[in-house]
Amino acid sequence: MSASNILSMTLSLFLFFGNGFFTQAFSPEMQRYIEKHSFETGDNFQKCGNTIILMYHTFVEEGEPTAEQDSLYTTADKLAEDIDKLQQAGYHSISLWAYRMGLFDPEEKYFILTLDDGYETNYTIAYPVLVEKGVYADIFANTEMMGQAGHLTWDMCREMEASGRVHVYSHLNTHEKATSLSEGEQRYWLEISVSALERELGEKRIWGMSYPYGDYDRAVFDVYRNLGASFQLVQGQQFDDPELLVRINVPYSADMNDIIEEAVHN
Ligand SMILES: [Zn+2]
C-alpha cells in the first residue's frame, strides 16, 4: 500500500469515526433484523435450572493436545466421549435456539455444546462427530476471521447449518474485549458482525452473542440487550439475569462427569 493510500485511508477513518457515526441509528437492514427477531426474547422461555452449557474451541488433527493447549484444544474422540458421558448421565442434546424458545421438557436435563472463535476444525473434526452422534452445537465466530487461514468459511457454515445440527452466532467481529470498547464501538462492531451473519447465512437465526475472552460487565450486557440481543453467553456469573447464560469450559484433561458436577445449570 502506498503512503498516499495510507494517508487517505487514515483520513477516511478519521472522518468516519470522528463524525458521530457511532451514535447514529442502525442501518435500515440492521433495524429490520432487530425488529424481526427481538420479539422472540423471553416469550416462551424461562430458565428451569436443567441445562448445562459447555464451551470448546478447537481440535487437534492428530495425537493429543499439549499441556499448554489443554484448555482450548481437544480431540474428536474426547468430544465423542464427553457426549457419551452426558447422555449416560441423562442429559439430552438441545440447540441454543430450541432452548431459548423454550422447546424443552422442564422435567428433563439438557446440554448445549458451544464452539468459540470459528476455527476450521469445527467443520473438519467436530462436525462429523456431531452428525455421527446426532447432537446439536452452536458456533460463535469472529466474523472478520471468516475465510482466513485456520478458520471457517461461509460455505462451511452454510453446509453445517443446512444439516440442522449447527447454528452460527456472533462472537463480535474481532476477538476484542467488549469492556475495552466504547458504547459506540460496541454497537458498531456488533452491527458489522450480525449484518455479515445475516447476509451470508440468512435471517432465520435469533440474535445472540458470546464475549471474546469471556470479558463483560453489567454495562456491556445492558448495551447488547438494549440492541435486542435475546441471550448472552458468559463464563463466570457476575449477576443474575434471565438473558444471561453461564457456560463452562471443557479442558481436554477434564472428566465430563466432574464438569457436570461443577457446571451452573441454566
Ligand atoms: Zn473467543
Cα–ligand 1 centroid distance for 11 (angstroms): 31
The Cα 197–Cα 18 span in angstroms is 27
| Residue 12: pLDDT band with limits 50, 70, 90 | very low
Above pLDDT 90, what percent of the chain?
Answer: 60
Cα(254)–Cα(161) distance, integer angstroms: 29
* The pLDDT value given to residue 38: 47
Q: Which of 50-64, 100-114, 242-256 has the lowest mean pLDDT?
A: 100-114
* Domain boundaries, given as residue ranges, for the chain: 27-262
Specify the pLDDT at position 208: 77
Q: Is the pLDDT of residue 176 over 70?
A: yes
Helix axes 28-38, 183-201, angle to 10 degrees: 80
User: Looking at the DSSP assignment, which residues form a beta bridge with residue 52?
Assistant: 111
210-259 pLDDT, tens digit per residue, is: 999 999 999 999 988 888 788 899 998 999 898 899 999 999 999 999 99
Of the candidates 133, 158, 151, 136, which has an alpha carbon nearest to the alpha carbon of residue 76? 133
**Angle at which helices 218-226 and 183-201 cross, to 10°:** 50
Residues contacting 3, CB < 8 A, separation 6+: none
Spacing, Cα 6 to ligand 1 middle (Å): 30
In this predicted structure, the answer to whether residue 97 has a pLDDT above a threshold of 90 is: no
What number does CATH give the domain 27-262?
A: 3.20.20.370
What is the pLDDT at residue 103? 81
Instruction: State in Å: Cα 133 to ligand 1 middle.
Output: 25
Ligand 1 centroid to Cα of residue 232, in Å, is 13
What are the pLDDT digits (tens) for 183-211? 888 888 888 888 899 899 986 555 678 99
Distance 257 CA to ligand 1 centre (A): 24
